[in-house]
Structure formats: C-alpha cells, structure tokens
A and B are shown apart, each in its own frame.
Chain A
Amino acid sequence: MSPALLFPAGLAALASLLIPLVIHIARRTESRTIDFAALAWLEQRPKPRRRLRLDELWLMASRLLLLTLIALWLAQPVLWGVADRRPVVAIAPGVDPASIEAADGARRVWLAPGFPEVGVGPAPTGGETISLIRQLDAEMGPDTPLELVVPAVLDDADAQRPVLSREVGWRHAPSGPETVLTAPEPPALIVRFGPDGESTLRYFRAAAAAWAESGAEPAVEIGALDVSLPRDARHLIWLDAAAPPQAVVDWIRRGGTAVLAEGARVPLDVAPRPVWTDPEGQSIASLGRLGQGRVIQLARALTPEAMPQLLEPDFPDRLAELLSPFPPPSRAAAADHAPLTGAAAWPQPPLDLRPWLALLIVLVFAGERWLATRRARGPAP
C-alpha cells in the first residue's frame, strides 16, 4: 500500500497558502492610536520590531488546512495496492449458488456485468461469460485466487479459449441432456421489380423454392415497385436501376435488409465493403449500413453473362448468407474450454482518494465557517 500523486503539479496550488497568512498578518501593520499620558516614561526610540505576529491562530490553521487539502485534491492522490485479496468464487448465472461450497472468507460473485455479490439482489441473467471471465481476471490483484463455476455447455464462447494471468479453479455443472437445436427459418423474400427486372425474378423464385422445405410453399412475395412493403417484411430484393423511394429507405433505416440491383443506390452511413467476390477477386456484392439496416449492393447486372454465379448450385445458400449471416460458432463444452494461463497480469488501478478528501474538505470548510462566524469573535479578518 503506497500513496502517490497522479498530478503532482496540482501541488502548485499550495502557493495559495500565502493568502490566509497575509490576511492574518496584514492587520498587524496598522497601529491603533491610544491616549497615553505617561508617554514621558516610554522609551523614545523603540527597537524596530520584525517579529511576525498572527491573529486568531485556530482560524488561520483551519484555513491553511483547507487550502492544503484542496491542493492535495488537485494533485489527485491515490493509494496503490489496496485491492481486495480475498479469494473469489465467480458463479455463472444459471448455476445454483447454493450447490457451490466456497472456502471461508471467499467472496462469491456472479459472472455478470459489475460482478454483483451472490445473495445481494436478484440473480442476474447470463451472457458474455467468457468475456466476463477475462474482465474479472484483469480486474483482480495478481495474487488473488479465483475459482470459476460455469454451466456444462458454454453458449457464448468465442474464437479462443480464454488466456488468463493466473491458475484458476474451473468447475462446471454436470452435463445435462443433449439439447436439440432447430435450424433457423429461411429468410422470407420480398421482391420488387421494375421494367428491366422482370427477367431476373426467376432466380429469386428458384432460391426461395430451394430454401423451402419439400412440399411447402416458397416464402416469397413479388410485386411491382409501387406496391408497399408488408408490415413484417425483413428481406427486400430491389430489382430496378432507379433509387428506391424514401419509404423504402426509411424502412431500411429501421432495421430492414435490402439487396439493391446494379445502379440502385441509397446514401449510406457506413461505406460498403465487399462481402462476395468472384475467383478473380472482383466484387460481386458489397455490404453497407444505413441506420440499423443493412444494404447489399450488387455490382453486376443480374444476367448469367455478367454474373455466372446466378447459375451456380450454391446461389441460394450464398443469397441466404448475404441476407441473414450465420452466427459464428459459440457453443463449447465447458470441460473443453478451460482457461489457459500465461497472459501478463494487468496492473491494478490505484484507489482514488479524492472522494474521501472531498469529504474531509467539506468538514474542514464547515469548521472554518464555524470559527469565522461564531459570536465571540472580534472584527476581521
């Protein structure tokens, strides 16, 4: 535990200590005139006086203390190495904390934003478990033991096993029954076509038919440019070289995904980047963002000559991925996702002493005011 100043130049404010000193000395220089008839027996040539004399020492002391504290506050005092050294047991939401026995003196927290204590407040909902494990490791002192309790299957793993700065205890709940996952619904297409786009409708019809379950009706709705969008529309194919009307732009801005034919452009918030290239590296489609929506701009005319990919067997899959990208793989068995060690320990932030100092300043100020305004006090300063 060592005190330090983050901004030592703030101590320059100590120069203001001169102000109360001057205030309390200045009155001494003026001399009051009094009648004194026995003047003849006073020494005619008094020794010059150079001794400093101060009025109201307590009041001056409180003022000096107040200014010193303010200067110290400006210098941002901190205390290094005051982190909590109790062992920590972090429990992922969804695991019953009653079933976890922790050593005496251990701190039990939820693996949730802010790391609330277990038993204080309601149990939080889960999410971002691996990211929170990294954060907890970074926020703890280097010598504090950490034990993690996670469910049997991690739903939000990311691309790498967490690399932590310490050895951690890694416990996971017993694996439950295998969960059955269902494939996501294929995107429902809304197609709007202009005079030139009618010939390309069949590719999208074919794609929708490819997505549909066998025997089911393909989820596609085709209309002219001026047919308004249905209320629950999410994926729009715009087959016209002219820019879409403002109503469509607003719909994109609210969160829709639109595929625009070559030539049709809307103003974008985020410049487009290629998301589909041909083997030569030429861009076929690029993705830009507008508000909360996504805009996929096709760079080629929708003809087999200009865009042979239309005829490829994987065109429906490509289109589906463009419209609703697959989420990255994030499920992992906890047993296989234990954290590694080897990361450098994070330096711990020091304890900021300024709030306590501010409290002290308020108290000293109150004391100074009391001294300065109490009744039994002479005039000035």
Chain B
Amino acid sequence: MSPLDLPPDLRTRLRRLSITPRRPAVLASAGQHTSRNRGGAQEFAQYRAYERGDDLRRIDWKLYGRSDRFFVRDAERESPVTVWILLDASASMGQADLKTPDWSRFDAARRLAASLVEIALHQGDRFGLVIETATGPIVVPPGAGARQRDRVLLTLAPITPGGIALWDRVVDVYGERFGPNDLILILSDGFDEACVVAAERLALSGRDVVMIRVLTADERDFPFDQGYRFNDPETGTQLVGDGPALRRDFLLRFSRARQALSDRLDAHGVRHAEHFVDRPADEPIRALFRVEGAR
C-alpha cells in the first residue's frame, strides 16, 4: 500500500473537496477563487506544437520565422493562491501502530500531502513542497499542473523520516519565499516545540497557516496490554512500563496536551485539525475547509 497511490474511493471523495484560503484571493487568475482583478501577466511555461483550434494570437511568430513551424506559447495559469505543503520528516514521524507496523505516521502524512496536491491540481492552484528533514529542508518550488504534481510525488517517494527536523530555518531561510497570501499547510505530529513555534511565527507574519497534526491510533487508544520499553525516537529516552497501568494517566495527559496545543494554535490564528493514521485522508481536509467549502 503505497502512500502516494490514492485509493479510488478516496480520490472520489477528494473531488468534492477544495482548499480555500481564509481571505478571498486578490490576484487575478483563471483559478477558481473569487478575485478583484481580472487579467494579468501570464508567465511563460513552455512551447508546444500548434494544434488545430489554438488561438492564432498565441502563435510565436518570431519562432515561426526562425524555424518555419508553428509553436504556441503555453502560459502558466496564474493562481492567486500558492499552497505550500510543509512536511515534517523527523524521526517521530516514523512511528507506526502496533497493529499496522508497515503504515507509519509519515506514510499517512504523505498520503495526506498527495491528497492535498490532488485537490490543488484540480483547483488549478499552484503548490509547492517543503520537507523538513534532519539534514535540512528539501524544497520543490511552487508550480501548477500535472508535471508539478509528479515532481512533488517523486520528491516525496524516497524520503524516510529520521533525526530531528530543523524548524527554525523554515521561518528564517524560507519564510520570505512564502507569499503573503500563500496557504501554508503543515503536516506534522506537533510534538516538536520548534514546529509549533514556526507555525506561530508564520501566522504572526500574516500568512494563512493550517496545521494538520498526524497522530497514530496508538496515541489515541493506547492499546498496550503488557509491559513495554517505550522509546522516544528523537531523544532516545526510554521508559519501561506496563501498558494497562499507564493507560489512564497517559490518555488524560495526552488529551490535555492536545487541547492545550489546540488552544495555542487558535490563539495565533492557526487553523488546525487532527488526523489519525487509521482514518481516511479526506477527513481532516473536509474538517478544515468545511465552512468555505459550503459556498
């Protein structure tokens, strides 16, 4: 089960979803979002051979003069919204459930990213990808179209989570690449303080930040029925304990922590949702963009 191949039923449900920014887009575009300006620069994307039905005005006559063939300047459609997907690839993302050891939190996050890409592609929005790894971010600059989707998926495919992600650099180094109206989607477990701080700082700078916290089913249910040595993959801290003895306390503390984080994100205007790895990927997207999606 590859996280990047979306199952058909998920694909069907994604077709009814949309990613909407908090504010209406201001730039003109052929995109889906309501806009104040019409028209605007078309950014060159590629040449392609002329086909019947193409607008004659779009033929590049200079190139025709040089090559005696008709070429059409393909322009990239300008969308007012760029969807940035920030994917956490720290070691904690590699955690898998007891019952499904080959479906990790990172796999669920990648499926979520692929779903978001699918929606953005369908909407005609530009989208970019930043993967936060221990050795530094891997960036796919924003673009649109099916080739951009393939580029994103190809980048996602070989990544394995490990180490501790350096979230500070997101804001310092890449913060300026995010446009003021860009939609920034952070896919992380939210356990990393630096990650939350980065989201808060991006939100403080006026950007539209959305955080989807990917949690495992074990963290929700704590189904451990015997003694285990619990190992924190990022810090290497270990704790030996009996599952049933720890369960009640953990669930209480963890739900409190989740609530505290939600309050914190709310206070900074960060939209957020929780996604459990054993749930379909469209659920958090629907929950996040429900109000606007009802238009």
Contacts and interface: CB of A to CB of B under 8 A. Distances in A.
A42 B254 CA distance: 8
Nearest to A36: B230
A246 interface: no
Contacts of A42: 230, 239, 241, 246, 249-250
A320 B224 CA distance: 101
Contacts of B230: 33-34, 36, 39, 42
A2 interface: no
A49 B226 CA distance: 10
Which of A37, A40, A42 is packed against the most chain B CB atoms within 10 Å?
A: A37
Contact of B249 (A36, A40, A43, A49): A43
B276 to A, nearest CB: 13
Interface string A30-49: 01111111111111101101
A40 to B, nearest CB: 7
A316 to B, nearest CB: 102
A161 interface: no
A47 to B, nearest CB: 6
Contacts of B95: 35-37
B228 interface: yes
Given A41-B254, A42-B230, A36 B241 contact: no
Interface in A6-48: 28, 31-44, 46-47
B56 interface: no
Interface residues of B, number: 35
Contacts of A46: 239-242, 245-246
Contact of B229 (A28, A34, A49, A53): A34
A28 B229 CA distance: 12
Given A39-B237, A49-B245, A32 B257 contact: no
Contacts of B287: none
B246 A40 contact: no
A11 B233 CA distance: 53
B231 interface: yes
A31 B91 CA distance: 22
B191 interface: yes
B226 A53 contact: yes
Contacts of B24: none
Nearest to B256: A41
Given A41-B257, A42-B250, A46-B245, A35 B94 contact: yes
Contact of B191 (A35, A40, A47): A40
24 contacts: A28-B226, A31-B227, A31-B240, A32-B228, A35-B92, A35-B231, A35-B233, A36-B230, A37-B92, A37-B95, A37-B219, A38-B219, A38-B250, A38-B254, A39-B235, A41-B253, A41-B254, A42-B246, A43-B241, A43-B250, A43-B253, A44-B239, A49-B227, A49-B245
Given A33-B228, A42-B241, 4 more contacts: A31-B229, A34-B228, A37-B234, A42-B230
